[in-house]
Structure 1
Amino acid sequence: MIKAAESMLAKGVRNFALLFVVGEERNSAGAYFMAKQPRGSKFLINGEPTECQLALGSKGALRYELHASGRMAHSAYPELGDSAILKLLDALERVRKIELPTHPILGPCTLNIATLAGGRAPNVIPDAAKADLFFRLVDDPAPIREAVAAACDGLVEAREILCIPAVHLQPVPGIPTTVVAYTTDIPAFGGQWGQPLLFGPGTIHVAHTSEERVPKKELLAAVEHYETLVTQLLKGLE
């Protein structure tokens, strides 16, 4: 993006800016902050690994923490205790049976049971346990919320941590398109920085792994692609 900006400035292209924010992986704090300080832009190109294709949509996110409570006891006498871990496992079994929707463009809603924690020692009946759930939304979250509440009822406390809606985006003539399953800062901007577009080099398939990388060839190609995209959008404003 910076190289594309430098190239356009050298050619006399103006009326664009770079915006960098923090917190996208956790809470989109930077995007939420800047959504309160719009600058009148008509378009926002959000940089994410789309393999240099323009994304027509991205899935949303619905995160939960499940908290189970029990009663400690010596594990030789389990009848004197109440295992929080067993309650959590029963709730998770119910959650895994929730029927998840499929969208014709975004594809299936998916569930990741991301973390499990609990217990004190092998000889102690656990009095507390916790799990993190992450649904990738493709539609209205209401049915999933209802299903999670029903699955957890009487077993664990379900705390909603985050909800970000799925996003549908517009194409730009002449630029290849794709659909991505991850969530971005775009919903957090709330449209305050103009019509959003999602584009960038690299593939999400290696993100959050030990093989995370962006090929140099794609980085170099992205410079030209960003410049072309900005130029086309500016022409549309004339």
Structure 2
Amino acid sequence: MSQPVTPAVRQTQLTADALDLLKRLIATPSFSREETQTARLIEDFFQQRSIPFERLKNNIWAKNQHFDPAKPTILLNSHHDTVKPNTSWTLDPFTPLEQDDKLFGLGSNDAGGCLVSLMATFAYFYDRPDMAYNIVMAASAEEEISGRDGLELLLPDLPPVSFAIVGEPTEMQLAIAEKGLLVLDCVAHGVSGHAARDEGENAIYKAIKDINWLSTYQFPNVSPTLGPIKLSVTIINAGTQHNVVPDKCQFTVDVRVTEQYTLEEVIAIIRENIESEVTARSVRLTPSSIPADHPIVQAGLALGRTTYGSPTTSDQAVLSCPSLKCGPGHSSRSHSANEFIYLREIGEGVDGYIRMLEQVI
């Protein structure tokens, strides 16, 4: 008679399976809005384990075997889309390469390592009958472009979520807060005229005045976790030829917002202080957080992890429930040439997620 598989052996096998899946994901291009093939790989992972799943466009999700609507639900989420490789790559971004204890490849760090570690964790707990929580795994699309056909599209189909773990590379440290994102398109209006004569009102000069305010203004309320709101002018465009005073200057502002202000309040303050016309592209990507005394945070702290506030935006921005950003890998490797994740980080991710959840469920 065969011996039952121990939890340790099961975890080891799932970690190996996660690494194998990550290699196949790397080898399959999955730019945002083009994730069809990687979605099929994720479906295969569930099918091989007889785990029922559902698909909405390129989002794949599954519930634990003993799902009970009367119990609260934990959402495990990460994304399977990638950015396009930049021109500085010297390796083939779609060839998974093991070298020097690293796995190189596009999306290995952001966020493939997190995704496969969470999927292995979900499979580990999938058939456990005695949990106090349900667990839902969602592999989402379009995260890199904050697309509407990613996690945001999927949320209405999911059961109510008590809290979420969002897989992004944090070295398995605990990002208990995340800044929201506002993108503002601004237009300074002037009056056209001949550059050789004292004619017109130069829209560039008007824009400079507003940009100077944006570059020096400090919002009074500072977040204890995330620090101050950050304003950055990132694009500017004006003029048609050298001898014409421009009547319009367009510029774009990247605003990283904390929980101290609503996105609407930030827009109102900026409009009150600059002359340029201000249009927000959306007010969807709000700040996110989870209380420091939340059980999942306390579970991470008990494992020696530390808490911090994250300046970058993820799928947390579309969640209304408490959410923790945590995962293997390092944020500085994301979107970089010759992106990689250490092989050991996959095992650390699976082990870390399992040990945290075991203290909660």
Q: Provide the TM-score with structure 1 as the length reference.
A: 0.80
Aligned with residue 224 of structure 1, among 351, 354, 359:
351
Q: For 1:147 and 1:80, how far apart are their aligned partners in 2? A: 32
Q: For 1:8 and 1:63, how far apart are their aligned partners in 2? A: 35
SS at match of 2:144: coil
Q: Does 1:145 align with 2:267?
A: yes
Q: Does 1:178 align with 2:307?
A: yes
Amino acid at match of 1:185: D
Amino acid at match of 2:155: A
Q: For 2:118 and 2:189, how far apart are their aligned partners in 1? A: 54
SS at match of 2:232: strand
Aligned with residue 135 of structure 1, among 249, 252, 255:
255
Equivalent position of 2:179 in the other structure: 59
Q: Does 1:91 align with 2:210?
A: yes
Aligned with residue 166 of structure 1, among 284, 287, 302:
287
Instruction: Decide whether the 8 Å contact of 1:82 with 1:125 is kept in 2.
Output: yes
Query: Offset at 1:188?
Result: 1.0
* 1:104-128, Cα deviation, whole Å (9 max, x unpaired): 2222222221211222233332232
Instruction: Decide whether the 8 Å contact of 1:28 with 1:188 is kept in 2.
Output: no
Of 14-23 and 92-101, the range deviating more from structure 2: 14-23
SS at match of 1:19: strand
Amino acid at match of 1:198: K
Give ranges in structure 2 of 5+ residues lacking alignment. 1-114, 129-133
Equivalent position of 1:22 in the other structure: 141
SS at match of 2:188: strand
Instruction: Decide whether the 8 Å contact of 2:121 with 2:353 is kept in 1.
Output: no
Amino acid at match of 2:342: P
SS at match of 1:61: strand
Q: How many residues align?
A: 228
Equivalent position of 2:319 in the other structure: 189
Q: For 1:197 and 1:40, how far apart are their aligned partners in 2? A: 17
Report the RMSD for the aligned CA atoms in angstroms.
2.8
CA distance 1:131–1:12, change in 2 (3 Å) = closer
Of 57-66 and 41-50, the range deviating more from structure 2: 41-50
Q: Does 1:2 align with 2:138?
A: no
Query: Offset at 1:66?
Result: 0.8
Q: For 1:181 and 1:217, how far apart are their aligned partners in 2? A: 26
Q: For 2:349 and 2:162, how far apart are their aligned partners in 1? A: 21
* 1:6-39, Cα deviation, whole Å (9 max, x unpaired): 4763687456443122233333412221222123
Q: For 1:63 and 1:213, how far apart are their aligned partners in 2? A: 30
Instruction: Decide whether the 8 Å contact of 1:56 with 1:177 is kept in 2.
Output: no
Mapping of residues 111-130 of structure 1, within 5 Å = 111-130=231-250
Amino acid at match of 1:69: H
Instruction: Decide whether the 8 Å contact of 2:289 with 2:324 is kept in 1.
Output: no
Q: For 1:219 and 1:121, how far apart are their aligned partners in 2? A: 55
Amino acid at match of 2:312: Y
Equivalent position of 2:50 in the other structure: none
Equivalent position of 1:199 in the other structure: 326
Query: Offset at 1:136?
Result: 1.6
Q: For 1:126 and 1:211, how far apart are their aligned partners in 2? A: 43
Q: Provide the TM-score with structure 2 as the length reference.
A: 0.55
Q: For 1:50 and 1:58, how far apart are their aligned partners in 2? A: 12
Give ranges in structure 1 of 5+ residues lacking alignment. none
Instruction: Decide whether the 8 Å contact of 1:61 with 1:162 is kept in 2.
Output: no
CA distance 1:76–1:167, change in 2 (3 Å) = same
Higher relative contact order (CA 8 A, sep 6+): 1
* 1:70-107, Cα deviation, whole Å (9 max, x unpaired): 33333323x33332222111111122232223222222
Amino acid at match of 2:269: A
SS at match of 1:183: coil
Identity over aligned pairs, percent: 23
Query: Offset at 1:52?
Result: 0.9
Q: For 1:186 and 1:11, how far apart are their aligned partners in 2? A: 23
Amino acid at match of 1:190: S
Equivalent position of 1:37 in the other structure: 157
SS at match of 1:51: coil
